[in-house]
């Protein structure tokens, strides 16, 4: 193998290792990343939600399983909403209009924000659509779930209820 190709392979391996080493895992503290409103230029972070049980869901308009997860997330929000629980849908579309078109078809009763620069997605090392993270009141990631199937809904709801029961 010639030297330039070997050098490129080493650099690619190092980048992969660094990204993998920085991926959040169960037991890690949730990153406090910047997020944008879908309707205006306002920015927020996850810090205002400290002390709550969070269900963070990364989604995109082109994601079929995301469309299937929204009815579940709406039901979960409606059944468990309160001061102690918050669902945050983080959209990863490059074009905000795509996200807004999706939301016109699949309305959300929970908070939806945008991560156009994918800065937050990189901090979480999102690997699938949708990717969900359950965070306890102390800001610790307690469960990571990739994808969505309707038969997983009861299990996910049970995990949220378990976190809400903890004090």
The Cα–Cα gap between 167 and 164 comes to 8
Q: Please state the separation of Cα 72 from the chain's center in Å.
A: 15
- Residue 1 has a pLDDT of 52
Dig out the tokens for 108 from the structure. Answer: 């959300």
Q: Using alpha carbons, select from 159, 111, 132 the residue that is nearest to residue 59.
A: 132
Q: Which pLDDT band, with edges at 50, 70 and 90, does 61 fall under?
A: very high
Give per-residue pLDDT as tens, 73-128. Answer: 999 999 998 879 999 999 999 888 999 999 999 999 999 999 978 889 999 999 89
What is the pTM (predicted TM-score) of this model?
0.83
Superfamily of 3-165 according to CATH = Glutaredoxin (3.40.30.10)
Dig out the tokens for 52 from the structure. Answer: 């709550």
- Residue 65 has a pLDDT of 95
Domain locations in the chain as residue ranges: 3-165
Residue 132 has pLDDT above 60, yes or no: yes
């Amino acid at each position: 193998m010639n030297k330039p190709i070997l050098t490129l392979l080493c650099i690619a391996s190092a980048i992969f290792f660094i990204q993998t080493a920085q991926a959040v895992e169960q037991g890690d503290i949730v990153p406090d990343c910047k997020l944008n409103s879908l309707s205006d230029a306002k920015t927020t972070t996850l810090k205002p939600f400290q002390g709550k049980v969070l269900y963070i869901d990364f989604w995109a308009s082109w994601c079929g399983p995301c469309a299937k997860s929204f009815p579940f997330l709406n039901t979960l929000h409606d059944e468990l909403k309160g001061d102690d629980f918050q669902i945050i849908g983080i959209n990863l579309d490059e074009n905000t209009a795509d996200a807004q078109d999706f939301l016109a078809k699949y309305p959300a009763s929970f908070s939806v924000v945008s991560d156009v620069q994918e800065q937050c997605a990189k901090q979480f090392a999102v690997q699938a659509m949708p990717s969900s993270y359950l965070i306890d009141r102390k800001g610790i990631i307690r469960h990571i779930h990739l994808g969505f199937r309707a038969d997983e809904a009861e299990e996910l709801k049970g995990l949220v209820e378990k976190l809400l029961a903890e004090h």
